[in-house]
Amino acid sequence: MAAGRNAGGLLEVDEDTLNKTPGNGVIRWEERRHNGLDLTVQSNGAGLLVLREMWAPGWRATVNGHPKPVLRAAGGLLRAVEVPQGTSQVKLIYRPMLSVWLLVGAGVVAALCLV
Q: What is the span of the domain harbouring residue 40?
A: 3-114
pTM for the structure as a whole: 0.66
For 10-50, the pLDDT digits (tens) are: 455 555 555 555 567 888 889 888 889 999 999 888 888 88
| Residue 90 to residue 110: CA distance in whole angstroms | 36
User: For position 25, which CATH number holds?
Assistant: 2.60.40
Nearest to 82 by CA among 56, 61, 58: 61
| Residue 62 to residue 68: CA distance in whole angstroms | 5
Domain count, the chain: 1
